[in-house]
Amino acid sequence: MNLNLLNTNKKDISIYIHIPFCESRCYYCDFYSSLLNEEVVENYFLALNKEIDLYSDFLKDKEVVSIFIGGGTPSAIDSKYILDLLNKLYKVINLSHDAEITIEVNPNSLNEEKLKDYLLAKINRFSMGAQSFNNNILKSIGRVHKKDDILKAINLFKKYNIKNFSFDLMLALPYQKFSDIEESIKYIKELNPSHISYYSLIIEENTLMEKLYSNKFDIFPNEDEDRKMYHYIVKELEKLNYNQYEISNFAKKDMYSKHNLRYWHLDNYIGLGASSHSNIDNIRYYNHNNFKDYIDNLEDLKLPILDYETLSKKDRINEYMIMGLRTNRGINIKDINLRYNIDVENYYKKEIEKNIKNNLLINSGKNLYLTKKGFDLSNLVELDFIQL
C-alpha cells in the first residue's frame, strides 16, 4: 500500500507511536513488545525517524490534535529517545495549540530526569500503569513495581505541578478481594488523578496468565464478584466527581482523553512503529509486527505496512455504532445520519426497539445511548448492531 490511497479531505489527525520495549513482561500481556536491548532500541528509533520522514508530505496540510506514546513501556527507555523523536516530529507536523500529548509510564521506571525531558518534549498528559495498590497482587501479575513506586511517582508530578495524569487499574486479578477495590478508591481520593481507566482482566491465549488461570482459576474473582467490584467503582468514582464517559473510563470535568475519544468516534489517526495500526477514512492498515521486517522496510525507504483493508459503508456504520455505544454520549443521531447518509432509526429499527424494550438502550430523540444495565451487557447489545 502507498500513501496515494489515503486521499482524505479531513484536516485533523492524531498520531500513535508504539514503543515496544519493557523491563519485564507482564503475565497478562499479549502486545508486541521486547525486553530492553540498547542496540535494538537505537536501531528502532533510527527507523522511527525514517518513518516520520516518509509521512511528512501526507501530514504537511493536517493539524495534529493528539499524540499518544504507548507500548510496551515508553518510560523504560532512555528519555533522550522520546525527546529527540518528538522534536523531529514537531518539525514536520502542524501541532494544534491545545494538542494533547500523552506518554505511558510505569511507576518504577519514571524518575526526575526523565520527567524533565518529557516536559521539554511538550508532553502534557501522563498515563500511569498502576494496575493495583496491593503489592501481592502486583507480584502475581508480573508487575515489577510496588505501591510505594506509585506514590513516589505522584510526588514527582506534584513537584512539577502536573495535574493531568491518569491511572490504569485492573479488575478480576488473581487474589483480588472487594477490600482491595475499596483501598484503591481511598488512594484515588488521596492522589486525585484527572483520569482513571479501570479494565477487567482479559485472559489472552499463550500468556502466563492463561496458564495460571487454567491451574488456579479459583484464585480469580468470579463474574459476580467482578460485577460487584465494577458497580462499586462506578458509584464511588461518581461521588468523587469522576464522570464515566466510556464503559471503562472516568474523568474529572474537561479531562477526557482526547486521543481515546478519537478512536471511539472513528476519527483519523496514523500509527508509527512496529505493529501499530492506522485508520484513515475507510482504510485501515497496520505495520509489520517484528523488528527485522519493520526496520528492513524503512532502510529501503518503504513504509513498513504489512497489510490493509478498505472497509465498506456497512462495515463503517457497524463499527461506528459499536464504538459509539461504549461512550456515555452514545450515538448522535444527526451526526451518524449526515456522516453515512442514512436514517439510523430506520436502518437499525428492529435492533433499537428490541434493546429499548429490554431496558438496555435509550433514544432521547438526539442520541442513542446505553442504560446502566446496557453498560453491563454492552457486548450483547453490540452484537445486535452488527449488520452482516
Q: What does the pLDDT look like over 118-160, one tens digit per residue?
A: 999 999 999 999 999 999 999 998 889 999 999 999 999 999 9
pLDDT category at 161 given cuts 50, 70, 90 is very high
pLDDT of 387 reads: 84
Q: How many Å apart are CA 5 and CA 365, to the nearest integer? A: 37
Residues 202-253 have pLDDT tens digits of 888 888 888 888 888 889 999 899 999 999 999 999 999 999 999 999 999 9
Question: Which residues, 6+ apart, have CB-to-CB distance to 212 below 8 Å?
Answer: 27, 140, 174, 219
DSSP 8-state secondary structure symbol assigned to residue 327: B
Q: What is the pLDDT of residue 30?
A: 65
pLDDT score, position 33: 56
In this predicted structure, what is the pLDDT of residue 234? 96
Average pLDDT across the chain, whole number:
93
Element (H, E) at 48: helix 38-59
Q: How much is the pTM?
A: 0.94
Q: Which residue has the higher pLDDT, 51 or 202?
A: 51
- Of 22, 32, 89, 84, nearest to 59 by C-alpha is 89
C-alpha 50/C-alpha 52 separation (Å) is: 5
DSSP state, residue 109: G
Q: Is the pLDDT of residue 25 over 80?
A: no
3-state secondary structure of 81: helix
Q: Are 167 and 196 in contact (CB under 8 A)?
A: yes
Query: Is the distance from CB of 140 to CB of 173 less than 8 angstroms?
Result: yes
Q: Is the pLDDT of residue 60 over 70?
A: yes
Answer with the residue of higher pLDDT: 312 or 215: 312
Q: Which helix (H) or strand (E) holds 115?
A: helix 112-120
In this prediction, residue 101 carries a pLDDT of 98
- How many residues does the structure list for the chain? 388
- How remote is the C-alpha of 388 from its chain's centroid? 28
Please provide the DSSP assignment of 208-245 as one string: HHHHHHHH-GGGS--HHHHHHHHHHHHHHHHHTT-EEE
Q: What is the pLDDT of residues 252-276, one digit of tens each?
A: 999 999 999 999 999 999 999 999 9
CA dist., res. 131 & res. 175, Å (int): 13
* pLDDT at 27 (0 to 100): 66
Residue 279 confidence (pLDDT): 96
The rounded distance, in Å, linking the Cα atoms of 130 and 164 is 15
Return the HEC string of 121-158.
CCCCEEEEEEECCCHHHHHHCCCCCCHHHHHHHHHHHH
> Is the link from the previous residue into 72 a cis peptide, with omega within 30 of 0?
yes
Residue 4 has pLDDT above 80, yes or no: no
Is it the case that residue 311 has pLDDT exceeding 80?
yes
Question: What local confidence, expressed as pLDDT, does residue 212 receive?
Answer: 83
Question: How remote is the C-alpha of 122 from its chain's centroid?
Answer: 20
- CATH number assigned to the domain with residue range 3-264, chosen from the 4 options 3.65.10.10, 3.90.950.10, 3.40.190.10, 3.80.30.20: 3.80.30.20
Q: How confident is the model at residue 32 (pLDDT cuts 50, 70, 90)?
A: low
- Counting residues of the chain whose pLDDT is more than 90, the rounded percentage is 84
- Separation between Cα atoms, residue 365 and residue 101, nearest integer Å: 35
CATH 3.80.30.20 domain position(s) in the chain: 3-264
Q: How confident is the model at residue 43 (pLDDT cuts 50, 70, 90)?
A: very high
Predicted pLDDT of residue 206: 82
